[in-house]
Chains A and B, each alone.
Chain A
């Protein structure tokens, strides 16, 4: 699940409350039946948290630090070594395990933070902006890692980067000014913009604009055709139709019968980016609470 919002929307605060770092002034957090305030020990065992700033002891080596964490999370003695080995190889930290944390680069520190969250194999992973400040290659690696982990863990990820949600999340909650502005799956957000599907079509070979428009309108299922502009000898239109019927084949056939050629045909799905900006700017007036 992606947790999306502009800077200062309350993403980190929400995550801090979810993990029991801060107490909520109202409401409650329940993890697998355990309330984080009433039975914190049980609930916190189920969560691995990677805060915005990885919580690292600079004076320890990577392996010392991870051993400390597994003691802290009371991982059974026998499992400790095996679990840490697994995590180190998963995060690709094996070569760094004897290095002092303060001498690691930012990317590696982030990975150590990630490793820390995985210790104890928690059901829920809460990741607060896990890719901030990393270089593009590292970002892709971290995203891959999240992609690999999502099959075994419930992951809550906060970010203000939209591609990240697109890349790794199955569902999204958009928050703005401390309120949830919208929720749903990623495909809900991108595709389900009403029942209408739209595409852009560029046509050549027509002698005049109305001629091409008429031909397109004649195709079965087309609801509306809007002229956009002329580009050299091509006429460009926006075509709308019912979602359930795909009219593109019909339009193409109609045009070719009329001796006109289609040089471009491209569906318009609204990007997450546009939707996000819409939601955030529209929410100013019509706020809905949780």
Chain B
């Protein structure tokens, strides 16, 4: 598991992939920070975090797109399937690598709350519980998105198909909230309940919900498990 994890992390940072993702991500966060915090004169960073949640829809599938498809393209899938390591460990190793890259990105954004701390006038409260809660929610949302797009990418051999279909599926999840709201019936309620982004937005306005935390963790675990099942299924011709 650790072996796979180390290799994936190495491969992220050996290629320009990780740097491009981080660069793009930081640019988005910087822009959102400008709009939501500087222009509004707000000391709450959670407003910015709230806004960048949507952009994860496009960033996360880029993180996960090559984890599985590259193995198939290089023929190294054979290696992983014939080595004495069970498939679930391989899947978890890969998932953890993607989560770690995401954590690195998240930690880099700490620079903005720190910036706020320097900019505010004396006496203002910074580093609030709301910011802290938002970060927890942000990480949870990221983990859930990574699990979904990893699962989607387990269906294809091509990186670009993996990325595009990942974005599409995450968009569907994104729209679930508004579709559910407009339906209004019981199905609508289920859809709203399932929508990951809406739960995250609760975090960013200051409601720390344990149920949502559990929701995210089970949601992620379920999709990682489905990825494993899908890969095992493919052994049978």
User: Could you tell me if B76 and A72 are in contact, using CB atoms closer than 8 angstroms?
Assistant: no
**Tally of A-B Cβ pairs under 8 angstroms:** 72
User: Could you tell me if A49 and B82 are in contact, using CB atoms closer than 8 angstroms?
Assistant: yes
User: Could you tell me if B75 and A45 are in contact, using CB atoms closer than 8 angstroms?
Assistant: no
User: Could you tell me if A23 and B84 are in contact, using CB atoms closer than 8 angstroms?
Assistant: no
B 200-237 to A, binary, CB cutoff 8 A, 1 in contact else 0: 00000000000000000000000000000000000111
Q: Name the B residues within 8 Å of A57 (CB-CB).
A: 7, 11, 74, 76
User: Could you tell me if A20 and B81 are in contact, using CB atoms closer than 8 angstroms?
Assistant: yes
A 3-16 to B, binary, CB cutoff 8 A, 1 in contact else 0: 00000000000001
Residue B184 lies at the interface, judged by CB distance under 8 Å to chain A: no
When A59-B11, A59-B14, A74-B84 are in contact, do A23 and B76 touch as well, CB less than 8 Å? Answer: no
Interface residue tally of chain B, by bracket?
Answer: 20 to 34
Q: Name the A residues within 8 Å of B4 (CB-CB).
A: 72
Smallest CB gap from A42: residue in B: B84
User: Could you tell me if A23 and B235 are in contact, using CB atoms closer than 8 angstroms?
Assistant: yes
Q: List B residues 128-154 near A (Cβ within 8 Å).
A: none
Known: A57-B7, A72-B85. 10 other contacts (CB 8 A): A20-B82, A23-B237, A25-B237, A40-B86, A45-B84, A53-B75, A55-B74, A60-B7, A69-B79, A73-B84
User: Could you tell me if B82 and A68 are in contact, using CB atoms closer than 8 angstroms?
Assistant: no
Residue B124 lies at the interface, judged by CB distance under 8 Å to chain A: no
User: Could you tell me if A44 and B75 are in contact, using CB atoms closer than 8 angstroms?
Assistant: no
Residue B185 lies at the interface, judged by CB distance under 8 Å to chain A: no
Q: Which chain B residues have a beta carbon within 8 Å of chain A's beta carbons?
A: 3-4, 7, 10-11, 14-15, 74-86, 235-237
When the two chains form the complex, which single residue of B3, B14, B83 contacts A44, counting CB atoms closer than 8 Å?
A: B83
What are 6 pairs between A and B in contact, CB < 8 Å? A23-B235, A25-B236, A47-B82, A53-B78, A58-B74, A72-B83
User: Could you tell me if A68 and B236 are in contact, using CB atoms closer than 8 angstroms?
Assistant: no
Smallest CB gap from B70: residue in A: A57
Q: Name the A residues within 8 Å of B81 (CB-CB).
A: 20-21
Residue A163 lies at the interface, judged by CB distance under 8 Å to chain B: no
Q: List A residues 66-117 near B (Cβ within 8 Å).
A: 68-69, 71-74, 116
User: Could you tell me if A19 and B236 are in contact, using CB atoms closer than 8 angstroms?
Assistant: no
When the two chains form the complex, which single residue of A22, A53, A72 contacts B237, counting CB atoms closer than 8 Å?
A: A22
When A57-B7, A59-B14 are in contact, do A21 and B78 touch as well, CB less than 8 Å? Answer: yes
Chain B binding surface, main DSSP class: helix
Residue A215 lies at the interface, judged by CB distance under 8 Å to chain B: no
User: Could you tell me if A40 and B79 are in contact, using CB atoms closer than 8 angstroms?
Assistant: no
User: Could you tell me if B76 and A56 are in contact, using CB atoms closer than 8 angstroms?
Assistant: yes
Interface residue tally of chain A, by bracket?
Answer: 20 to 34
Query: Would you give the shortest CB distance from A50 to chain B, in whole angstroms?
Result: 10
CA distance A49 to B82 in the complex (A): 8
CA distance A16 to B4 in the complex (A): 22
User: Could you tell me if A21 and B82 are in contact, using CB atoms closer than 8 angstroms?
Assistant: yes
Query: Would you give the shortest CB distance from B48 to chain A, in whole angstroms?
Result: 34
Chain A to chain B: the 10 pairs with minimum beta-carbon distance, closest first: A55-B79, A71-B3, A53-B75, A55-B76, A44-B84, A19-B82, A45-B84, A23-B236, A41-B84, A72-B83
CA distance A64 to B82 in the complex (A): 19
Q: Which of B76, B81, B84 has the most CB of A within 10 A?
A: B84
Q: Name the A residues within 8 Å of B85 (CB-CB).
A: 41, 72, 74
User: Could you tell me if B3 and A49 are in contact, using CB atoms closer than 8 angstroms?
Assistant: no
Query: Would you give the shortest CB distance from A73 to chain B, in whole angstroms?
Result: 6
When A21-B235, A59-B14 are in contact, do A41 and B86 touch as well, CB less than 8 Å? Answer: yes
Smallest CB gap from A43: residue in B: B84
When the two chains form the complex, which single residue of A16, A23, A54, A72 contacts B3, counting CB atoms closer than 8 Å?
A: A72
User: Could you tell me if B7 and A68 are in contact, using CB atoms closer than 8 angstroms?
Assistant: yes
Q: Name the A residues within 8 Å of B79 (CB-CB).
A: 55, 69, 72, 116
Q: Name the A residues within 8 Å of B3 (CB-CB).
A: 68, 71-72
When A53-B75, A55-B75 are in contact, do A44 and B82 touch as well, CB less than 8 Å? Answer: yes
